[in-house]
Structure 1
Amino acid sequence: MKKLIINGRFLTQRVTGVQRFALEFVKALDKLIEMDDISLKLQFVIMAPRDIITDIKLNYIEVIPVGKLKGHLWEQLELPFYSRGGLLVNLCNTGPLLKGKQIVTIHDAAVYSKPEGFTKMFVYWYKFLFRALSIIAHKIVTVSEFSKRELAHYCCIKPNKIRVVSEGWQHIQQIDADLDVFQKHNISPKQYILAVSSLNPNKNFQGIVKAIECLGDVETNIIIAGGTNPKVFSSSNGSLPNNVKYIGYVTDEELKALYEGAMGFIYPSFYEGFGLPPLEAMACGCPVIVSNAASLPEVCGDAALYVNPYSPEDIAEKIKLLLSDNKLRDELRRKGLERAKMFSWEKCAHETLKVIEEVLAK
């Protein structure tokens, strides 16, 4: 029986985009094993450092803590030893340089095209790592055709070595919305536009702030959720406008309630390898406004209003349009729910498994 080892370093990290991908992929793979006879051909294990912070319940894939080191040192020095004899699958942009037989998922090429969003040391390390892994790994997996083109260009990878495997949204469907979030933050459902993101400049929250100033006397609230510093959203007088409310970090349950209670969702990013939040919003029946850049048109199709992320005036105009047109909101809601059906974690696991089987067949 052939052994498949999944790099479980993501279990020691706070859950953001790439960790979400890894967690949901592994859960979907576990269900796939249950439905199919894959376990008769392959033995699946997750190898992780000992400082695990995310507890994951799986029926067919064992989580094995190994080694004494942490972080990059564990991944680069100990994982190659413990994964010897098997195919290693890396899901979160990194992988050991001393391991030959491996598959690496690289989500985007932002360190090349948008390096201003990261520290210099981070950029240097990941540029080197991506270039090296693109040579060492048997296959590279990425999450959109946009990212495939970016990686092929910047890392000089032949397109036939890169496979596109899209993300899913079912994790948001499987949780119960926490309606207490409305009372907790004094929010009135169906009377706000939602924005969710981080401090990374690529998310373009300054564009939202400037767009809010262009809205004038439009009567709506903007709810900003995420692990960001509220000073980023301060107006010239040093305080948030009256119609803008920054609520900071929210749980997945609270986020689902906010998606379902919003009149719309705004996501004007400059750069996205995939763009999971708009897909989550569409799956929750929330009309979305996204930028016309990077992978977002590929993900959202005809189910979104598009903006020029460099134009706060355009962002403001699309917000006004969405708020003023009930028929448009209903149409986007319907199209968004339909569009979301194209994506699933089960499909993600199926497509990745095809890549795994192809590599093992060599």
Structure 2
Amino acid sequence: MRVAVNLLTDHPDHPSGAHWFWTRVLPEMAARLTADEEICLMTSPRSRSGHLTAGRGVSHLTFPWSNEHPRLRTLSEHLYSPVALRRHRIDVLSTLIAPVVKPTPGLVAHFKTMHAYTDPAAIPPLVRWYRRRSYPRTAEVADAIIINSESLRAEVQRHLDVDPAKLCLIPEAVDHEVFRPGDREAAAAVLRERYGVTGPFVLFVSSLWPYKNCEGLLRAFALAREALPGHRLVVVGSARDTEYAGRLRRLAEDLGLADLVSWVGGVPLTDTVPFYRAADVFVYPSFNETFGLPILEAMACACPVVTSDRSAMPETAGGAALLADPHDPSSLATAIVEACLDSADGLRKLGPERAGEFTWARTGAQTLEVYREVHRRTGGAS
């Protein structure tokens, strides 16, 4: 069996959550390959360096462009992949969107979000149009569709005409070698030296997209500050939408929080660990998530978590976080205060136990088994 994994949708200079996912899953799959199995990574010359250590039985299939040239990359996926994948006798293609001509006997789609339908304003118009045109056909021609939560299953079935038997639920996971409990004082010292963050704080970690609801958190923090004297709000995340980021700063000023909010910006993923360890509470008030991986990352570091009471977040939290209405700042404020003052010890114990249920070894093994099952059903090219 030869599987091609499409990694072209990631920008080599700005790795996304998908990049982190594949750098964790691919070694786990490689460790389980049999002698007659191979994984071919579809990479460009620029993106190849990010996947050099995937493991035994893993090779590269070079395409001219990845997402540094999104339109050229899209054209190559549709026009070049049918030629290249057949020439290399690929049995199963793993991808987000199926090429116009199905290039392999088996095809596995990885659906991460339905934002083109559930939050269309967060996606540029051309990208939104392309996804809405492509997802229905992908659902039709795919032999299996991997999803990461029951919440996403419901969204896929709501917006696409898809055979329910195709949907394979495989949760994402936490890198427990990176995200684990540690000394809070040592973490605080790192933050003072590296980022100038001092004192007790409430933490937000996410790119600043409107649907992540940092605005609601600012309003909630303004309500909670009387019960949490001396606390700051620390916002870690890149300003993907600069206009929205400007609105957030103006809102902080209007709420009288200008001197109480630390806008850290984007940090390397591993640098989020001391933030999680030192924070009094991590708040993830998103309006919509198909999994919510930062919830588990915070829990794995023994940080109390407050998150939204909708979409996939209660499912991911599994009873180890406090839930609140993301549309109601007072609900968020109440949960934040409770997590800091009343429930902290219990949440610090429950979090690592819940996060420990999610491992990349299990995710990799289950993903590889989906590829094998599709290969068995479709016959393959080799």
Q: TM-score when scaled to structure 1?
A: 0.90
Please list, as runs of the form range in 1=range in 2, the aligned pairs for 1:19-30 lying within 5 A after superposition: 19-30=19-30
Deviation of 1:12 (Å)? 4.4
CA contact (8 A) 2:10 2:18 kept: no
Moved more, 79-88 or 278-287: 79-88
Residues of 2 paired with 1:354 and 1:254: CA distance? 33
Identity across the alignment (%): 24
> In the aligned structure 2, how far is the partner of 1:188 from the partner of 1:9?
40
Residue aligning to 1:40 = 35
1:58 to 51, 54, 60: 54
Local SS of the residue matching 1:206:
helix
Q: TM-score, normalised by structure 2?
A: 0.86
CA deviation profile, 1:105-149 (whole Å, cap 9, x unmatched): 001212112212112212111111111110111111111111011
Q: Higher mean Cα deviation, 223-232 or 329-338? A: 223-232
Between the aligned partners of 2:350 and 2:122, the Cα distance in structure 1 is 33
Instruction: Identify if the C-alpha distance between structure 1 residues 12 and 323 changes in structure 2 by more than 3 Å, giving closer, same or farther.
Output: closer
Q: 1:184 to 1:162 in 2, by over 3 A?
A: same
Q: CA deviation at 1:252?
A: 1.9
1:66-120 residue CA offsets vs partner (Å, 9 max, x unmatched): 24344212222222222123233435x3342322521010012121122121122
Offset at residue 241 of structure 1 (A): 2.4
Alignment counterpart, residue 77 of structure 2, candidates 75, 78, 81? 75
**CA apart distance, 1:211:** 1.1
Confirm or deny: 8 A CA contact 1:5 1:88 kept in the other structure. Answer: yes
Distance 2:60 2:20 in 1: 20
Q: Distance in 1 between matches of 2:38 and 2:270?
A: 34
The 3 A distance-change label for structure 1 pair 227 and 172 is: farther
For residues 11 and 30 of structure 1, what CA distance do their matches in structure 2 show?
21
How many corresponding residue pairs?
352
Structure 1 CA distance, aligned partners of 2:194 and 2:42? 40
Q: Does 1:183 align with 2:193?
A: yes
2:205 matches 1:196 = yes
Is 2:224 the partner of 1:221?
A: no
For 1:138, the aligned partner's letter is: D
Gaps of 5+ in 1: none
2:92 corresponds to which residue? 88
Moved over 4 A (4+): 174-179, 236-240
Q: Provide the C-alpha distance between the structure 2 equivalents of 1:128 and 1:12, rounded to a whole number of angstroms.
A: 22
Q: For CA contacts below 8 A with separation 6 or more, give which structure has more relative contact order.
A: 2
Paired AA for residue 15 in structure 1 = P
Q: Which amino acid aligns with 1:41?
A: D
Residues 74-223 of structure 1: matches in 2 within 5 Å?
A: 74-84=76-86, 85-90=89-94, 93-99=96-102, 100=104, 101-170=106-175, 173=178, 180-188=190-198, 191-217=200-226, 218-219=228-229, 220-223=231-234
What does residue 277 of structure 2 align with? 260
Compared with structure 1, are the counterparts of its residues 172 and 80 closer, same or farther at alpha carbon in structure 2 (3 Å cutoff)? farther
> Among 363, 372, 375, which residue is 1:348 paired with?
363
CA distance in 2, matches of 1:160, 1:116: 31
Matches within 5 A, 1:323-342: 323-325=340-342, 328-342=343-357
Describe the superposition over 1:124-182 as per-residue Cα deviations: whole angstroms up to 9, x where unpaired.
Answer: 11111111110111111111111011112211112111101100101662799986333
* Matched residue type, 1:43: E
* 1:303 equivalenced with 2:303 (yes/no): no
